[in-house]
Amino acid sequence: MKINRMNPYDGESKTAAFFDLETDEGIIIKGFTLVESSNGLFASAPSEKGKDDKYYDKVLMSNELKNQLNELAISHYDQLKNNWPNFMNYNSDIFNIRIIVFYLLF
């Protein structure tokens, strides 16, 4: 498996990034989240809210596979973070560019 896409999140939550996973068979599973907790980063599977207001994972996997996914996602995140000079300012930079373009056009 490999990370197909990872986008950092620079907001007011514990979410560090969103990512999609591609299996060895070529199946892409969208909607994973990398979350910052008191114990460090961990990958969270896509989930949906049930009628009982609890969240349920939409992708079920063994503990071994979860551990592999955590290692893969954290490694990918660290590589992005180390190779991207403005990693944590990505979202705010895009927002600022949009404002400047809007201002110039109107």
Every domain of the chain and the residues it spans: 2-105
Task: Report whether CATH 3.30.1120.40 matches the domain 2-105.
Answer: yes
- pTM given for the model: 0.73
Burial group, residue 16, by CB count within 10 angstroms (0-12, 13-18, 19+): buried
Q: What confidence tier does 10 reach under pLDDT thresholds 50, 70, 90?
A: confident
| Each residue's pLDDT tens digit, 12-68 | 889 999 999 999 999 999 999 999 999 999 999 999 999 999 999 999 999 999 999
- Answer whether residue 99 shows pLDDT above 90: no
Work out the number of other CB atoms within 10 angstroms of the CB of residue 98.
Answer: 10
Work out the number of other CB atoms within 10 angstroms of the CB of residue 37.
Answer: 9
